[in-house]
Structure 1
């Protein structure tokens, strides 16, 4: 009996790396690259059009991040497995990808054999982490995480940044946050800019989505 071929969509904004991945899968038995995309919106469109079994997804993409593209793809096609392949190795990015619906997270230092093996594993329904990432995830969950949901979900944020994120996720605007925390609007803007950078999000909507997925948000004082 002929083994069923797994259909793969490759998403990366660097042409040379993207073509290299296509070459990796061309050498792997029972794997077929059915398409490629260079940015987030194209990834979402091609995933819907081609219906691959696995989407190999970078995080840093133009226009729409790989995390948000993953969220959009999984929302419409929950049967589709997304395997993140990126240079970003911090915990926030890993957990954001998992919350968005990714089934695996590898670093770009992974060997071709590791990438192929992980692709097959996520297609089979397994969760896959690269060796360095797996160690960090285990260490995170084995440690006590004081400070509530924001501290647990976003450990790289300062206590003040977590307060600001909490208020953002509750629907507060900058002026309301400034009044609530007794700081200037400029200080609020600086905190929000730092939050966006640390969470690898492009705007307020993405930050809110991540925060609410993590159970962060409370009622704003009138």
Structure 2
């Protein structure tokens, strides 16, 4: 069944162009509708959507309304940040939304992000996840409340090193293993944790207090 994406934005003309490009690329996967905030219905119940993308400004007065109105509905909510405002990003991340997009995304990244969310996974743009990781490192003293059976003992060590910002070459030197072995461990970690890059793996580890950071 075709899914429906509704985009709520102040910039209707810009998003109409994006909509046409997405529609051509996605074909029958998603039907896309663009609604300007000025013309958005007062009641969220009148919007029929599977995915809702909110184009968020730095001080968006409507944001709380949209999040509150749709939090109890079976709708995947995505926010699009035109600029990075750290406190707003942290506030939004606490909402545990389905997608966190960034204004500088290329079209291929946008397509990948939408398909990731359609598969039931969360998407965080790398520019945003790096900021979130930095904040969690600052706030977290760390612990080792690790789930059993996900990673091997050596993979946990590699994940700890990744979370400390170490390169594969440095990890190899610290753990007395080859760079080739580290590469294999990193690939295995990303696959097992269902994340797309090292930053997201580190963010997940710190957020869940799986690693200790010194």
* TM-score scaled by length of structure 1: 0.54
**Pairing 1:25-174 to 2, within 5 Å after superposition:** 25-27=22-24, 28-29=26-27, 30-33=29-32, 35-39=33-37, 42=40, 45=43, 47-60=44-57, 64-75=61-72, 77=73, 79-144=74-139
Instruction: Please report how far the alpha carbon of residue 55 of structure 1 lies from its aligned counterpart in structure 2 after TM superposition.
Output: 0.8
SS in 1 for 2:40: helix
Contact 1:13–1:62 (CA under 8 A) maintained in structure 2: no
Residues of 2 paired with 1:13 and 1:127: CA distance?
25
The RMSD of aligned alpha carbons is 2.7
Instruction: Please report how far the alpha carbon of residue 105 of structure 1 lies from its aligned counterpart in structure 2 after TM superposition.
Output: 0.9
Q: What stretches of structure 2 of length at least 5 have no aligned partner? A: 142-214
Question: What whole-Å deviation, never above 9, does each CA across 1:125-171 have from its counterpart, x for those lacking one?
Answer: 3221111111111111122369xxxxxxxxxxxxxxxxxxxxxxxxx
Instruction: Please report how far the alpha carbon of residue 50 of structure 1 lies from its aligned counterpart in structure 2 after TM superposition.
Output: 3.8
Q: CA 1:67–1:107 in 2, change beyond 3 Å: closer, same or farther?
A: farther
Count residues in correspondence.
Answer: 139
Contact 1:82–1:104 (CA under 8 A) maintained in structure 2: yes
SS in 2 for 1:102: coil
Residues of 2 paired with 1:70 and 1:86: CA distance?
15
Moved over 6 A (4+): none
Q: CA 1:12–1:68 in 2, change beyond 3 Å: closer, same or farther?
A: same
